[in-house]
Structure 1
Amino acid sequence: MAHSAVPITPRWPGVAAAALVLLLTLGTLGAVAWRAEWAGGLAPADWAAIRFTINQALISALISVMLAVPVARALARRRFRGRQLLITLLGAPFLLPVIVAVLGLLAVFGRGGLLNQALTGLGFEPISIFGMQGVILAHVFFNLPLAIRFILQGWLAIPAERFRLAAALNAPVGRLLEWPMLRAVVPSTFLVIFLICLTSFAVALTMGGGPGATTVELAIYQAVRFDFDLGKAALLAFIQFVLCVGAALLALRVTPEDRTGAGMDRVVQRWDAARAGVDYAWIIAAALFLLVPLGMVVLRGLPGFLDLPASIWSAALRSITVAIGSAALCISMALALALRGGATVAIIGVMPLAASGLVVGTGAFLIVFPYVRPADVALIVTMLVNATLALPFALRSVAPAAAAVKADYGRLGASLGMSGWGWLRLVAIPRMRRPLGFATGLAAALSMGDLGVIALFAGQAEETLPLAMYRLMGAYRMETAASAALLLLGLSLLLFWICDRGGRADVDT
């Protein structure tokens, strides 16, 4: 019988996965740094892009957090039918393709949207959401739900016994319980959203208003696709990476430890929740802000759905192929790294968070450009980069389950002489199907909606569905774009549902 820890899985898959992640993060960054024209410096327009990127990210994160606090407080204090479903829908931004959400926002706030129709009917001048205000609006739409989820978890982590004690002593709940929690949770939430807004490409591409609303990522895209100035693109990409690393390190530094203490898992009863009308007003406003644009995508996409041109269906097929390949690679890397374990693997697994997809794509472009035509490897590179960028989310889901299986069954498997594929097939994978299915679906949905890397590499023959949608919007074919958005939304949710449902089917362990 085995009396000590015995390796039951081969080491080479974890080593190979770590090497691929390092190649696609540090390797592409090295290519960017090598090609960067350090002596040339930055033009005034480049400095303007850097300032705009930082300013819009700061404002977007600030508004998202400020609005999330009262909504999360209302959800924490109220119990109503459909509450759990509403909270579940707050995870939609992780699955929703950016270009689809942008089209929904345009249907509500755009030039011919519901808001401007109402303003015109009342005799007011229509408003434009393109430029800084449009970028901020879209970022708040994506990140408000994320901020609500983070802050709501902070509220729910306060033991119910503390609220009972505060009620018994007639103590101020806000000052003694809620304010300390907010001081611990809000800074890290703000920095995470700030990091997300720094690396947003599709939002700036579709909602930006020209040179005055250009982000660093958009400047990289323009330097590669239009000016073919690889040196300038490399320098901007390196600056983008430095900004992301700084924000990521600061976010990790201010992430709080759980010091709320343990409770007895009682349901929280809030005796201080007197103003129900205010709380429900916040909940209804947040739900409308999130769900109306999605409803408009469905309504505007249905009429022309059956008349979509063949090119859209071809782009959809390419997107599905890339998504399936990306998800398979991502979950394979996540499983290999999770079973390998260790602090080094954990660090490697989160490295893609500091790497923007466009920065990685720029590095990959610089690596392959001297040898092959970038369009010829567009789908393969997109698949690799999407798998790497989704890895932190997949690893977060798979790693705890892998650690539990190794702790519970590792010694038993070793004592029975089980190792390698046999142990994985008979022991590990059956007990990890739930997180594996969820992580696979998440990676597929994220890849399905990508509009970053593919925009650098693809020509007309290699375009995916998000890129085809963007080109339709640029040609003012909004009806066809709306139908394509509905197709993209449906395919993304379908891929996620198939993978997640497959992981949960007939699982008894």
Structure 2
Amino acid sequence: MARRAQPLGAVVPAGVAAGALVLALCLGTLAAVAWRAEAGGGLGAADWAAIRFTLFQAALSAGLSCALAIPVARALARRQFAGRGLLITLLGAPFILPVIVGVVGLLALFGRNGMVSAALAPLGLGPVDIYGLHGVLLAHVFFNLPLATRLILQGWLAIPAERFRLAAALGFGPGDVVRRLEVPMLREVLPGAFLVTFLICVTSFAVVLTLGGGPRATTVELAIYHAFRFEFDLGRAALLSLIQFGMCAAAALMALAVTVPGGFGAGLDRPLKRWDADHLGLRMQDAAWLGLAGLFLLVPLALIVLRGLAGLAEMPAAVYAAALRSLVVALVSAAVTVGLALPLALAANRLGGLRGTALQGAGMLAIAASPLVMGTGLFLLLFPVVDPVALALPVTAVVNAAMSLPFALRALGPVLAETERSHGRLADSLGLHGYTRLRLVTLPRLRRPLGFVLGLSAALSMGDLGVIALFADPAQATLPLQLYGLMGAYRMEAAAGAALLLLALSLGLFWIFDRGGRANAAV
């Protein structure tokens, strides 16, 4: 391989150092919680109930999301229509939509004072109660249906066009195509889509915090928060943290063991005539699924905008100060994400083989970690040295960066590998190594994914309501925490304005960085 001819230089030590830091954040903080914990009586009935509810709601949420995603993905795969590209782009919105903002939109639609309750009132029905298990499921499907759709859509787009042409030549009907082509593809794609969605639902915090509705709808993540924040029971928090990490690690390993299509954007602009779907009934069926999915995803966002515009004047001055703090945290988090991801990806690509895979695996470990566990561990490590509350914002930025790292590695890794395959030998023959090679060969081809990584990590950090909740201090509240406080005080007009501001800042950060990465990029 061309990369083997290069001197290792400083790339590998930098990548190893980044991997060690990630391991310290994921495993070191967990060890700190366990070490400082006092021996307790183990788990109580409420803790076991939280574990059961976590697994139940995650499995049900993932199952519903994937089941609904199948007809939506099929409709997108076999139909060409005006606005199709825009709709596919909108399916990526939940990746950067702040969870608390999505919850505000769902409350505006399905809450006691929402549109659905208002429509049911003349019929003597309602109001709708969105709190509890059904509210958690509704929110999880809202956030994860687009993700499952994108994953399953890639399975359809990966089927060679020649297979469908051959099926048409052989006279296959819609049922034959489903049985011979689509079902085998779904057997390959669905397990990975389900497990990835399941993992996201296991670690859900803001959804359950706002819509859980009490002890009967509490997850392990929320139980850790209560054990640390309100009871300061480190023994219980440590044990719950170990269980949380075990569940996430098991789901992550299972997700890695099954095949999930990569490259979300590949093939979306290659129209293919589907003779098997050229029937009026199937066209109406696809249109209905796409229309329902579009309404389900877009109406809450439209309500956020409409109600937010009316609520801007009701926002207290503290909201703007919180927005500034969130911007700073988001920018720092984005910089830390790239500072960790780039050396990790470069070193893994340079080493190759088992060592490279192990190094990349260390960076991906954050997908199985809980941000609340990281925050708790860092609190315990910092407490003897400095007041952790004073470092709440830096700690939040670092933890958010670690949680964005798996997405960054997935974006950078394939581009680095392709760059090495296509330009590695030429660079070696020209004697390009070290910083010169990085500047002239590698970074120009990483401009697009780096812009995407910066935008994604900044947007995710902008909307995070996790670690900062552990160190909650009114003087250091971020915009999501300020928004949650307004909702708790039933100042829904001001909350709607803050939600609109948070949505605009998150989407704006993503657009600026992503656009900057694509501007004038010829490679």
Pair 1:489-2:493 in alignment: no
Report the equivalent of 1:197. Answer: 201
Q: How many positions carry a matched residue from both structures?
A: 504
Q: Compare 183-192 and 478-487 and name the one that shifted more.
A: 183-192
TM-score (norm 1): 0.95
Report the equivalent of 2:396. Answer: 382
Report the equivalent of 2:440. Answer: 426
State how 1:76-475 maps to structure 2 within 5 Å.
Answer: 76-171=77-172, 172-255=176-259, 267-273=271-277, 274=279, 275-341=282-348, 342-410=356-424, 412-413=426-427, 418-475=432-489
Alpha-carbon offset, residue 408 of structure 1: 4.3
Structure 1: distance between partners of 2:445 and 2:21: 27
Alpha-carbon offset, residue 256 of structure 1: 6.0
Alpha-carbon offset, residue 270 of structure 1: 1.2
Contact 1:330 1:394 (8 Å CA) reproduced? yes
Contact 1:9 1:419 (8 Å CA) reproduced? no
Structure 2: distance between partners of 1:420 and 1:4: 12
- Three-state SS of the structure 1 residue aligned to 2:82 is coil
Q: Compare 198-207 and 178-187 and name the one that shifted more.
A: 178-187
Structure 1: distance between partners of 2:126 and 2:232: 40
Alpha-carbon offset, residue 37 of structure 1: 5.0
Q: Deviations over 1:14-35 (max 9, x none)?
A: 1221121111111112123324
TM-score (norm 2): 0.92
- Three-state SS of the structure 1 residue aligned to 2:384 is coil
Structure 2: distance between partners of 1:434 and 1:229: 46
Q: What amino acid is the match of 1:77?
A: R
Contact 1:9 1:421 (8 Å CA) reproduced? no
Alpha-carbon offset, residue 507 of structure 1: 1.4
Q: What amino acid is the match of 1:403?
A: A
- Three-state SS of the structure 2 residue aligned to 1:302 is helix
Q: Percent same amino acid among aligned pairs? A: 63
Report the equivalent of 1:507. Answer: 521
Q: What amino acid is the match of 1:154?
A: G
Structure 2: distance between partners of 1:168 and 1:411: 45
Structure 1, unpaired ranges of 5+: none
The alpha-carbon distance between structure 1 residues 408 and 125, as it changes in their structure 2 partners (threshold 3 A), is closer
Structure 2: distance between partners of 1:198 and 1:362: 18
Contact 1:98 1:449 (8 Å CA) reproduced? yes
Report the equivalent of 2:48. Answer: 47
Q: What amino acid is the match of 1:51?
A: R
Report the equivalent of 2:351. Answer: none
Contact 1:438 1:503 (8 Å CA) reproduced? yes
Contact 2:54 2:202 (8 Å CA) reproduced? yes
Structure 2: distance between partners of 1:362 and 1:200: 17
Q: What amino acid is the match of 1:316?
A: A
Q: What amino acid is the match of 2:227?
A: A
Structure 2: distance between partners of 1:15 and 1:253: 25
Contact 2:33 2:377 (8 Å CA) reproduced? yes
- Three-state SS of the structure 1 residue aligned to 2:373 is helix
Contact 2:151 2:260 (8 Å CA) reproduced? no
Q: Deviations over 1:72-118 (max 9, x none)?
A: 11111111000111011101111000000000000000010000001
User: RMSD of aligned C-alpha atoms?
Assistant: 2.1
The alpha-carbon distance between structure 1 residues 222 and 268, as it changes in their structure 2 partners (threshold 3 A), is same
Structure 2, unpaired ranges of 5+: 349-355
Q: Compare 26-35 and 199-208 and name the one that shifted more.
A: 26-35
Contact 1:159 1:268 (8 Å CA) reproduced? no
- Three-state SS of the structure 1 residue aligned to 2:81 is coil
1:498 aligns with one of 492, 512, 522: 512
Structure 2: distance between partners of 1:418 and 1:277: 58
The alpha-carbon distance between structure 1 residues 421 and 461, as it changes in their structure 2 partners (threshold 3 A), is farther
Contact 1:8 1:413 (8 Å CA) reproduced? no
Contact 2:341 2:408 (8 Å CA) reproduced? yes
Structure 2: distance between partners of 1:148 and 1:176: 21
- Three-state SS of the structure 1 residue aligned to 2:310 is coil
Report the equivalent of 2:490. Answer: 476
Structure 2: distance between partners of 1:8 and 1:47: 51
- Three-state SS of the structure 1 residue aligned to 2:328 is helix
Structure 2: distance between partners of 1:122 and 1:165: 54
Alpha-carbon offset, residue 324 of structure 1: 0.3
Report the equivalent of 2:352. Answer: none
Contact 1:397 1:439 (8 Å CA) reproduced? yes
The alpha-carbon distance between structure 1 residues 159 and 413, as it changes in their structure 2 partners (threshold 3 A), is closer
- Three-state SS of the structure 1 residue aligned to 2:120 is helix
